[in-house]
């Protein structure tokens, strides 16, 4: 960021008065331009013990499998974003979504909110950001071809809960360490 969105003045990086973080501050009008994490919402679309996965047609991770998910738009709820992304990426209609995982990704400045929702029918097909859309059972998930650690950890939690016959809200942080990415569930 080089120029202020309010007045067009030059931006400097400094710690504002009564703050403790380096921020983008307009040197002319003193507007502070906060940068906050982006929200990603997605859906585990369920059909008779199977889940819907999309093969990505776009970068990053083109050709890899993912749950339908994407950035939340202004003016929509996270549940609406999850339903919209499922329709956009898989042309799939889902019923009432239920919040399933909340993951903070400090390394990516993102927060993931994944929902579970029943598929309303089997009329799904690849959207503009997918090359294939398929249902997978618990034993057929293409683990080595998953696009993102968030998807891997969401599906790991999902399949554990499916095996136990009860789903619970999972909230935590997806952090990177020497062993890779770890989903640390809060207490």
Pairing verdict, β 170-177 and 98-105 = parallel
∠ Cα 41 71 138 (to 5°):
40
> What is the structure's pLDDT at 178?
79
Q: What is the dihedral angle through the alpha carbons of 95, 70, 155, 52, rounded to the nearest 10 degrees?
A: 50
Instruction: Give the domain extent around 171.
Output: 38-185
Clarify whether residues 127 and 171 are in a common domain.
Answer: yes
- Smallest Cα–Cα separation from 67: which of 184, 156, 162? 156
> What is the structure's pLDDT at 32?
97
Q: How many C-beta atoms lie closer than 10 Å to residue 58's C-beta?
A: 12
Clarify whether residues 11 and 55 are in a common domain.
Answer: no
Rounded to whole angstroms, what are the CA distances from 137 to 49, 68, 134? 6, 16, 10
Clarify whether residues 70 and 28 are in a common domain.
Answer: no
Clarify whether residues 101 and 74 are in a common domain.
Answer: yes
> What is the structure's pLDDT at 184?
80
> What is the structure's pLDDT at 186?
64
Clarify whether residues 145 and 104 are in a common domain.
Answer: yes
Domain CATH number, residue 49? 3.90.79.10
pLDDT tens digits for the chain (187 residues)? Answer: 999 999 999 999 999 999 999 999 999 999 999 999 999 999 999 999 999 999 999 999 999 999 999 999 999 999 999 999 999 999 999 999 999 999 999 989 999 999 999 999 999 999 999 999 999 999 999 999 999 999 999 999 999 999 999 999 999 998 888 777 877 876 5
Bond into 60 cis (ω within 30)? yes
Domain CATH number, residue 28? 2.20.70.10
Clarify whether residues 3 and 95 are in a common domain.
Answer: no
SS3 137: coil
Q: What is the dihedral angle through the alpha carbons of 20, 26, 32, 36, rounded to the nearest 10 degrees?
A: -90
How many domains does one find in the chain? 2
């Amino acid at each position: 960021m080089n120029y202020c969105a309010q007045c067009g003045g030059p931006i400097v990086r400094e710690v504002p008065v009564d703050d403790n973080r380096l921020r983008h501050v307009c040197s002319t009008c003193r507007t502070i331009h906060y940068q906050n994490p982006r929200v990603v919402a997605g859906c585990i679309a369920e059909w008779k013990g199977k889940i819907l996965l999309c093969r990505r047609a776009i970068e990053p991770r083109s050709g890899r499998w993912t749950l339908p998910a994407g950035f939340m738009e202004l003016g929509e709820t996270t549940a609406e974003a999850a339903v919209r992304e499922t329709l956009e990426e898989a042309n799939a209609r889902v019923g009432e979504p239920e919040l399933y995982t909340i993951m903070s990704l400090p390394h990516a400045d993102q927060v993931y909110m994944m929902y579970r929702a029943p598929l309303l029918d089997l009329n799904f097909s690849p959207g503009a950001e997918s090359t294939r859309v398929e249902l997978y059972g618990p034993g057929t998930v293409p683990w080595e071809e998953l696009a993102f650690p968030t998807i891997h950890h969401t599906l790991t939690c999902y399949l554990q809960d499916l095996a136990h016959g009860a789903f619970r809200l999972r909230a935590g942080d997806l952090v990177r360490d020497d062993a890779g990415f770890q989903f640390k569930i809060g207490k």
